[in-house]
Structure formats: C-alpha cells, structure tokens
Structure 1
Amino acid sequence: MGTNSTERPRRGRPRDPDAEPRIRQYAVRLLLERGFDGMTVDDVAEAAGVGKATIYRRWASKEQLANDAMAELFDIEIPDADTGSLAGDLRQVYRDALGFVNSKEGVALIRLAVSEANRDEQFGAFYRNFLQRRIALTADALERARKRGEPIRATADPVLMVQWLAGVLIIRALTGEPMPAVEQADHLVAMTMRCVSDE
C-alpha cells in the first residue's frame, strides 16, 4: 500500500512544551543576579538549554523577555484575590506579598529594584509596570467592595494603598531591617482598612 500523499513529514525537533517556563525561570534568575544590563539572551539560552532562535521565536527582544518573565514572577507569587470582601482580598494579597519578600528571591528582587530602577530605565519601566498592574487590581477590588455594599470611602486611593506597602518593603530593604512577617498581614490589613473604610 502507498503512503498518504497529503501527509508531509515533520521537520526539525519537536516543540519543547517546557521551554517557555524554563526560559522565563532562567531570565528572572539572571536578572536578579546581574541586573538588566548583565542579562543576555545568549546566557539565558545556554542556562535554559535552548537555542537563541527558540527565544526569539517567542520574544522579539531581550526587553520583552525580561518584562514577560518579571510579570509572570509577580503574578505567580502575588496573584489577584477575590474572596468576597475587601479585607479578605487584602489579607490574601498581603500574605502572599510578605511570603514572597521573606524569600531569598523576593529580597533579591527588591534590592535589585532599589539599585536599578533609577539607574536603568528598562528595569525602572518593569517595576513601574508591576506597580501599575497592582494598582489596577486594587482599584478593581475597591469597586467590587462598593458594589457589595461595603462602606468604602469615595476618597479611597488605590495608588496610595499599593505605594504605602511597597514603601515599607523598600525602606526595610534599604536599612537592612527584617521584612514584616507573614503573621503581620492582619495588622497591616487593619491599618489599610482604617484608611479606606467609613466604619
């Protein structure tokens, strides 16, 4: 019997389904170790065990790869929360954030942000993008709370809600003080709720 003439042999190596997460993992690792200037696509490719072409098929530039890798890291470590109350949402996000900043990777990221954000415009943009995503998620949480009838002040500011906690973490990184423990999340939530609630 002859072969089906409509079937064409597949060329090249099969697509590696684990390549993208592995590439992001090593991109983040090299960013934290070397900063944006010191991270190269060549080094990421070597560490991830892929060719440069594999990276460039997915990301058009080093900047896009770094931004995507950092965004995924933040989204994995500090995911959005929708628990049914604003206090519950904040509690979950704060616990995730404090768990992250008390890890070796989290501390390295904050120190990198402090040292690189003003020196390196690309890294500064990555960090601002993360804060803007977190501000947008916080604004959504406030809106959900209002729709549920929670007594949220009209002046509740999602920008300040994000920046005050980020500021605490940055100051601790600068001064070498220990990061707030995960167990302090409830205390931090109570402080925030006093500022945004009419009760």
Structure 2
Amino acid sequence: MADLDVPRRRGRGRPRDPETDSKITRAAAELLLLRGFDKTTVDEVAARAGVGKATVYRRWPSKEDLAVAAMETLYSAEFPEPDTGTIEGDLAANYRSFIAFANTDTGLAYLRMSITESLRDERIAALYRSSTERRENDARASLRRAIERGEVRRDADVDTAVQYLGGIVTARVILGRPLPQLEDVDTLVQFTLRGIRR
C-alpha cells in the first residue's frame, strides 16, 4: 500500500522565543535585586524587557512564578573554586572573592533577597539551597585536596570550615551589621586554619 502524505497539524501561535524568555527573566532578576519582590511589578518587568505584559503572563501565570524563574538564573551563576596548591592560598582566594562580592550593592542585594525570598517561597529556598550546596561541595573538594597533601587533619570538621564565612556574612546581613572587609581576609583565614590544620 502506498504511503499517504498526511498533513501535520501546526501548533497554535508562534513558537516561544528563548531570547524573549531570557530578556524577561534578566529584567525580573535586575528589578528583584534593585527593589525586592514586593516592590517589583510585572508591568515594570515587561517595560524593562521591552515586551507586552501579556507576553510575560503567557510564560509565567503569576509574579511568584516569574520570580522563581528569575532567581533560577541568578543561582545558576558559577563561581570557580580556586586551586592555588595550598589550603591557605585557596581559602584566601575564596574569601577575598566572596567578601568583595558581598560588599558590592549587587552582592548585598543578592544576599538580602536570597534570605527574604527563601523564607517566603519554598521553591526559591530550594534553588538557594541547591546553589549553596554546589559551592559547598566545591569547597569540600579543596579541603579534601589539602587533607591528601597533609595540610589538614583527617578528622577536621569540614562542614564547619566550609560554612564558616557564609554563616558570618549571613548573620551580619540579617542583623544589619558591617560585613567583613578585604583587609579582614588574613585574620579570617588564620581563624579557619586553626580549626583544621594538622
């Protein structure tokens, strides 16, 4: 029997443009960092992205859904873990990078928003946890290399060492206290090393 050419039905409307999705989530992320969730509106996101409000709502039916997508783009950013050949060098490079970021307007806004929005929406909390765990795993790899080199005790509390600086910064953000500065890096590194070195 001869094959029949059966016409295929096309989907309704034009296919979604990934570039448009990216423009919208980028605009939403910028506004969330600038103003926070409560003061950001879908109208503003649409205007900043150069699209109509209906275009935004076709992709994300609520502001909450859009915020989750925007936060996902922020949390997907990767910070390469240093490998200087020594644990002291790795910690110093890591701490310097994190402290420099935290002391920028964008970095402080990122931390404040992460804390606030994680308490408001479990989906954002899950994204934040996943991002934090990726970075912690990278830091654990650095400590494992140091253990193999004989710089760090095999019974060292790796989890506390990995979470030490992040815990300080998070507490100070919540309490509104001054964050560690670049000139504090050496002191913070030495404090960490006292707890883990052989």
For 2:138 and 2:146, how far apart are their aligned partners in 1?
Answer: 12
How big is the shift at 1:164?
A: 2.1
* TM-score relative to the length of structure 2: 0.71
Q: 2:70 aligned with 1:68, yes or no?
A: no
Counterpart-to-counterpart distance in 2, 1:158 and 1:44: 42
Aligned AA for 1:120?
D
Q: Which moved more, 1:153-162 or 1:163-172?
A: 153-162
CA contact (8 A) 1:28 1:69 kept: yes
Note if contact 2:152-2:196 (Cα within 8 Å) is conserved in structure 1. Answer: yes
After superposition, residues 104-119 of structure 1 pair within 5 angstroms as 104-119=105-120
Q: Where does the alignment leave 5 or more consecutive residues of structure 2 unmatched?
A: 1-13, 60-64
C-alpha deviation, 1:178, in angstroms: 1.1
Change (3 A) 1:154 1:23: farther
Contact 2:147 2:154 in 1 (8 A): no
Q: Indicate if the aligned counterparts of 2:101 and 2:107 stay in contact, CA closer than 8 A.
A: yes
1:171 deviation in Å?
1.8
**1:65-121 deviations in whole A, cap 9, x for unaligned?**
42133321xx2xx43211111111111110011111111111112222332222221
Counterpart position of 2:124: 123
Structure 1 equivalent of residue 62 of structure 2 = none
Residues 144, 36 of structure 1: alpha-carbon distance in 2 compared, 3 angstrom cutoff = farther
- Is there any run of 5+ residues in structure 1 with no aligned partner, and where? 1-11
Query: Structure 1 residue 170: deviation in Å?
Result: 1.7
RMSD between aligned alpha carbons? 3.1
Match of 1:134 in 2: 135
Aligned residue identity for 2:36: R
Alpha-carbon distance, 1:44 to partner? 4.3
Moved more, 161-170 or 44-53: 44-53
How far does the alpha carbon of each residue in 1:125-167 deviate from its partner, in whole angstroms, 9 at most, with x for none? 22211210111001110122233x2331223334322322122
Distance 1:89 1:39, change over 3 A: farther
Change (3 A) 1:112 1:64: closer
Offset, 1:176: 1.9
- For the residues of structure 2 that align with 1:36 and 1:81, how far apart are their CA atoms? 37
Instruction: Give the whole-Å Cα distance in 2 for the aligned partners of 1:70 and 1:134.
Output: 11
Tell me the residue number matched to 2:10.
none
Distance in structure 2 (CA, Å) of the matches to 1:115 and 1:79: 26
Taking the aligned partners of 2:142 and 2:38, their CA distance within structure 1 comes to: 32
Question: Is 1:85 the counterpart of 2:86 in the alignment?
Answer: yes
- Which residue pairs with 1:184 in the alignment? 184
